[in-house]
């Protein structure tokens, strides 16, 4: 399933290939987020022009809207959204704990109110595997208990013990639903900022055995240094021959630091969410190398296109882009589109930022190959 | 400038070619509306895929946002929005009278408050010609006084007399700004539903002399029959050798009826506005002929994709479309996009409806050529 082809001589960074039923993925990679069965404002043609290796769908949202009946009839998430790239789906755990104001943690799962209409639902380990089976995602995640990384140790321990128990149940259910193991299943390491708990969580999961291991419960408010400290010990303790996925991270500099610590997979709302607010990621003149660990890693800048100074800036949105629309429209026009709130503004900014992230990952892989990271 | 190539044997309908500096236009034609320098949610690539003959921009909106300084620097409206098709701009008169709650009609122009920020502005005949000169639109319109078609005759007369006076000033100003007559200038016939006043307005304008004549003040609340009655006498009284433009009309059946009465040019918000509300225009099995005057002219249907029944409808959005996205996505997916309010929904519906209107005009021209209309 996963094969490492190269280890950097400079860091823990590594190159690999992760096999999925829908295609092979070169690690390290970044997954753009298609929360509700669409990367906000992009059509399948736009996505094909971007050419991501894989995209991410959110189980919580898709289960509530359009619901499983529709996606089942469509033949899975990719067929529903006309997507030709592999897909990873999360388990919905994170959304249940972050979006649903009212929820109740039970031993066998978690009851929560829909963020859409207040209706009550129950997610159990078995249920989220059934949902992901209908979504037919290439990489599926276990249901985890997401606790605040600053919780006390008793609470963190309880959360990770439940996570382990649920992970076991997920694996069992997945075996029933997918006996030929067409799709991959990843476990999720919890334990907050506590080293002992993180290592316990990891060893519990490794004992059960998964196709890959994710690090959950980071990028939820802790400092960069706290996050890197966790990565320092947890990543090297993870099985070498399995892909390592740092969930919900992050800014380009966070990704670079995590890659150096041996992480292979990333997803984050930053490129798409910041596009909505007019923030564009652009290469600076030192791009792509050398990658440094300082803020913006020395190789990129961001601009807020809504800023008044761009009203009058007739330079191209992104002359380095391979996307024609970003090379032909100028900044003054994009500024205008944001000012009159035309949906085209969102599309152009989203394309720009996702392209930046995908290109960053390509250059990270190149840097690892050349022992430059 | 305008040459008629064929007159139908069945009606007053005619085929012609209108020359503009940016290209020749086959009449009768329809102009999709790019109110604020963008056809809502469509990029220039989307517009090129649709292939309209000409698009329409709104002077009122573009003057207020982004403002003339920006558009001048861009080199005109088409360069600003990266548009390769000819452009018609209105004079802003209609928006001043419909959008600005507070306005004051003066002899030399009209003072109004911006719909965006409440700031005060003055549109005079000279000013709107200067604005359109900066926009560099291929077809420009005179500033007219838009009065309610149900106003009393005294009010209608006063409005049309002022319209004539302003038309004269517009022509004079245009000559100064565009001495080589690169761009065309159209007069606008007013007079409400009063035959005598309409004919007076027309003969006043013809005396001044314009490159084309528009019929204003219709499609503002009167019945179809009242509108057709005005067209019956005004269209045949208009110069035969100049294009006739019915402003702001309409549903496909209105367009067909107007073409039969000799009208050559149309614009309307219907295809774009109804797209925003999920209403799709689709051909029915009798499309394109015979064109009848009954509702929906016997050849099309509309569906509201937001309707619950489409949640479960996996037929293609529009199998007859030449646009790949409309042929590959299904109705259930478009329904879902509207439900989760993704901007891609608006884009797909807008593409569908504009394509329908452009195709309708193509078939109307074909029908005239074959003496079938």
CA distance A304 to chain B (A): 17
Interface list for B 58-87 with A (CB within 8 A): 61, 65-66, 69-70, 73-74, 80-82
CA distance A268 to chain B (A): 19
Interface list for B 25-44 with A (CB within 8 A): 36-38, 40-44
Q: Are B129 and B177 in contact (CB under 8 A)?
A: yes
Asked if pLDDT for residue A287 goes beyond 90, the answer is no
Which residue in the set A43, A74, A329 is minimally distant from B344, CB to CB? Answer: A43
In this prediction, residue B300 carries a pLDDT of 87
Asked if pLDDT for residue B289 goes beyond 90, the answer is no
Q: How many CB atoms lie within 10 A of CB B370?
A: 12
How far apart CA B358 and CA B289 sit, in angstroms, is: 15
Asked if pLDDT for residue B295 goes beyond 70, the answer is no
Q: Both tokens of residue B89?
A: 């701009």
In this prediction, residue A291 carries a pLDDT of 66
User: Which residue in chain B is spatially nearest to A329 when comparing CA positions?
Assistant: B82
Is B264 among the catalytic positions? Answer: no
In this prediction, residue A149 carries a pLDDT of 79
Partner-chain contact A333 B43, CB within 8 Å: no
A344 neighbourhood in chain B, CB within 8 Å:
38, 41-43
Q: Both tokens of residue A204?
A: 């519990």
- pLDDT category at B55 given cuts 50, 70, 90 is very high
How far apart CA B214 and CA B223 sit, in angstroms, is: 19
User: Which residue in chain A is spatially nearest to B344 when comparing CA positions?
Assistant: A41
**What are the extents of the domains in chain A?**
2-268, 279-355
Q: Read off the DSSP letter of residue A242.
A: S
Asked if pLDDT for residue A207 goes beyond 90, the answer is yes
Residue among B274, B363, B322, B270 nearest B46 (CA): B322
In this prediction, residue A266 carries a pLDDT of 98
User: Which residue in chain B is spatially nearest to A276 when comparing CA positions?
Assistant: B343
In this prediction, residue B102 carries a pLDDT of 81
| Mean pLDDT value across residues A106-112 | 94
Asked if pLDDT for residue B324 goes beyond 60, the answer is yes
Q: Read off the DSSP letter of residue A356.
A: H
pLDDT digits (tens, 9 = 90+) for A158-180: 999 999 999 999 999 999 999 99
In this prediction, residue B149 carries a pLDDT of 79
How far apart CA A194 and CA A205 sit, in angstroms, is: 17
Q: Are B144 and B188 in contact (CB under 8 A)?
A: yes
Q: What is the percent of chain B where pLDDT is above 90?
A: 88
Partner-chain contact B36 A340, CB within 8 Å: yes
- Put the strands of the sheet holding B184-189 in their side by side order: B29-31, B265-267, B244-246, B212-215, B184-189, B139-141, B87-89, B55-57, B33-34
Q: Which residue has the higher pLDDT, B373 or B226?
A: B226
pLDDT digits (tens, 9 = 90+) for A48-99: 999 999 999 999 999 999 999 999 999 999 999 999 999 999 999 899 888 8
- pLDDT category at A299 given cuts 50, 70, 90 is confident
In this prediction, residue B47 carries a pLDDT of 98
How far apart CA B145 and CA B161 sit, in angstroms, is: 9
Asked if pLDDT for residue A290 goes beyond 80, the answer is no
Q: Are A231 and A215 in contact (CB under 8 A)?
A: yes
Q: Both tokens of residue B145?
A: 């006084």
Average pLDDT of chain A is 95
In this prediction, residue B340 carries a pLDDT of 97
Q: Which residue has the higher pLDDT, A67 or B287?
A: A67
| Mean pLDDT value across residues B22-50 | 98
In this prediction, residue A284 carries a pLDDT of 82
Q: What is the percent of chain A where pLDDT is above 90?
A: 88
In this prediction, residue B292 carries a pLDDT of 60
CATH placement of domain A2-268 = 3.20.20.105
In this prediction, residue B151 carries a pLDDT of 86
- CATH topology for B2-267 is TIM Barrel (3.20.20)
| Mean pLDDT value across residues B96-118 | 89
* DSSP states of B278-315: TEEEEE-TTTTSS--SSGGGGTEEEEETTSGGGGG--S
Which residue in the set A65, A82, A311 is minimally distant from B66, CB to CB? Answer: A311
Which residue in the set A38, A330, A344 is minimally distant from B43, CB to CB? Answer: A344
Q: What is the model's pTM?
A: 0.97
Catalytic residues of A: 90, 267
Query: Which phi and psi (to 5°) does residue A261 adopt?
Result: -95, 10
Q: Which residue has the higher pLDDT, A343 or B103?
A: A343
A331 touches chain B (CB under 8 A): no
In this prediction, residue A103 carries a pLDDT of 87
In this prediction, residue A129 carries a pLDDT of 98
Average pLDDT of chain B is 95
Judge if the upstream peptide bond of residue A290 is cis by omega within 30 degrees of 0. Answer: yes
pLDDT digits (tens, 9 = 90+) for A19-55: 999 999 999 999 999 999 999 999 999 999 999 999 9
């Amino acid at each position: 399933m996963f094969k490492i082809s190269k280890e950097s001589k400079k860091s823990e960074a590594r190159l690999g290939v992760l096999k999925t039923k829908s295609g092979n993925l070169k690690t390290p990679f970044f997954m753009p987020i298609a929360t509700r069965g669409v990367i906000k404002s992009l059509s399948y043609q736009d996505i094909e022009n971007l050419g991501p290796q894989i995209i991410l769908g959110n189980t919580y949202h898709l289960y509530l809207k359009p619901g499983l009946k529709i996606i089942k009839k469509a033949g899975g998430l990719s067929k529903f959204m006309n997507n030709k790239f592999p897909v990873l789906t999360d388990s919905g755990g994170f959304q249940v704990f972050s979006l649903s104001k009212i929820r109740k943690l039970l031993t066998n799962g978690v009851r929560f109110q829909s963020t859409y209409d207040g209706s009550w639902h129950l997610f159990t380990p078995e249920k989220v595997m059934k949902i992901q089976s209908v979504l037919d995602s290439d990489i599926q995640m276990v249901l985890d208990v997401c606790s605040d990384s600053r919780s006390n140790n008793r609470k963190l321990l309880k959360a990770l013990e439940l996570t382990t128990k649920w992970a076991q149940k997920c694996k069992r259910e997945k075996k029933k639903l997918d006996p030929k193991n067409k799709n991959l299943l990843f476990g999720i390491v919890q334990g907050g900022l506590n080293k002992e708990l993180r290592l316990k969580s990891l060893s519990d999961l490794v004992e059960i055995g998964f196709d890959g291991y994710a690090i959950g419960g980071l990028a939820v408010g802790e400092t960069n240094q706290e996050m890197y400290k966790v990565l320092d010990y947890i990543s090297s303790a993870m099985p070498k021959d399995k892909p390592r996925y740092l969930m919900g991270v992050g800014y380009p500099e966070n990704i670079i630091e995590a890659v150096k610590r041996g992480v292979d997979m990333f997803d984050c709302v930053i490129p798409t969410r910041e596009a909505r607010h007019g923030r564009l990621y652009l290469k600076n003149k030192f791009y792509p190398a050398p990658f440094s660990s300082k803020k913006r890693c020395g190789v990129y800048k961001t601009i807020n296109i809504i800023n008044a100074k761009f009203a009058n800036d007739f330079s191209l949105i992104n002359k380095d882009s391979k996307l024609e629309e970003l090379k032909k429209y100028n900044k003054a026009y994009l500024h205008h589109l944001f000012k009159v709130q035309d949906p085209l503004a969102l599309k152009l900014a989203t394309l720009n930022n996702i392209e930046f992230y995908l290109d960053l990952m390509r250059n990270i892989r190149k840097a690892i190959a050349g022992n430059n990271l």
